[in-house]
Structure 1
Amino acid sequence: MEEEQDYVPRSITLADFLVVISGFAVNVLRAFEMLASELLDLAVYNANRKTKVSKVWEQFASDLEKMEDNNG
């Protein structure tokens, strides 16, 4: 019990601040990395969607031309 009363916690040093700041920087960088990853996924999804929509419109136009040719 006597040892606990005599215990003096160590003082805060520059290294403690550096650890906190570096941890914060790592978390911010991870957040930007996740944001970039999500934006990339969204861009790929959008490009694939536009390609599929374009193919559908091309097929629709082709079918329409065939129908017009068949009807006269």
Structure 2
Amino acid sequence: MSTEDRVERLLDLVEKQSEKFDALLAKTEEASKKESAEDPEELAKKKADKDEADFIQLMKDINKE
């Protein structure tokens, strides 16, 4: 696999993850409107945990290549 192919594959993976992230962000924004009574610090922690999990999954996907 050439370097160009690898870069293209990585870009595809990043694009897919970006689409997933955008969908999750939309869901998070909608949920935050519904859960406005919940502690903002707790919501921020949950989002940070989810972002970290998404990043770890992205790194695993990249390393599989």
TM-score (normalised: structure 1):
0.46
Q: Tell which structure's C-alpha radius of gyration is larger.
A: 1
**TM-score normalized by the length of structure 2:** 0.50
